[in-house]
Amino acid sequence: MPHARTMLALAIAAALAISACGEDEKSGGGGGGGGGDEQAAVEQAATAYIVEQGADDDDSEQPDSVQVDSVDVDGDNAEVKASSSATGNKYEVTLAKSGEDWIGQSLFKDVPSEPVEEDSGGGGGDPSSGAGELRSTDDAEKQIETSLLKPLGLEGTVECPPEVRLRRGNNFECKVTGDQNATVTVTQKDDKGSLNYKVNVER
């Protein structure tokens, strides 16, 4: 019987650490006595973290444009989902409590974008050929392992093509082998290394 597949669409800007899957329902989660004040503190810390992490981006955010959609507090850890009325970006933030303060740990940034057409840069299906700067995929493999697989509770070895050309639409696939095998489709959104990841996990 063929494996059923679960599709998880994940988008990320290059060199940005990402993580986390929050709950769909806005609630205090398993915080145990955190109450409204605790949730408000988490929301404020998450918003500040989103603004801080994106300060140097072209689509930087202002605090009043960030809308918190859901909060899940579990002891000294929290996960927040938020969206921006200014950019259309969606965010997932993980935070940890240090003393009386909530500190941002990782950020998942989902950037809406126009569909990326297939490569027309002369690579002939080989992502290491054609126009564009030749770049190692070591960083992409590390991001997939630490920022995509780990939050999903998956462990495995990630193998991408050794090198690819930085070129919009010069897409490639990475294989994950482990307790659960998966394929990661990597879409190049521009010529500068901004990537989208889509994980196809065999269940």
Select from 144, 138, 146, 118 the least CA-distant residue to 130: 118
The confidence score (pLDDT) of residue 90 equals 85
Q: 34-75: per-residue pLDDT in tens?
A: 468 999 999 999 999 999 887 777 778 899 999 999 999 999
pLDDT, residue 100, reads 92
Q: How many CA atoms lie within 13 A of 162 on its CB side?
A: 0
Q: What is the pLDDT of residue 120?
A: 52
| Residue partners of 101: CB distance under 8 A and separation at least 6 | 45
Kindly report the backbone phi and psi dihedral angles of residue 95, in degrees, each rounded to the nearest multiple of 5, phi listed first: -135, 155
Could you tell me the end-to-end alpha-carbon distance of the chain, in angstroms, rounded to an integer? 12
- What is the pLDDT at residue 53? 84
- pTM of the predicted model over 0.95: no
- In which band, very low, low, confident or very high, does the pLDDT at 121 lie, cut at 50, 70 and 90? low
Give yes or no for residue 12 having a pLDDT over 90. no
In tens, the pLDDT along 33-45 reads 446 899 999 999 9
* Domain segments of the chain as ranges: 35-110, 118-202
Find the largest Cα–Cα distance for the chain.
59
pLDDT at 123: 53
From residue 157, give the alpha-carbon distance in Å to each of 13, 150, 175, 176, 191: 22, 12, 8, 5, 27
CA 12 to CA 195: how far, in whole Å?
6
CATH topology classification for 35-110: Nuclear Transport Factor 2; Chain: A, (3.10.450)
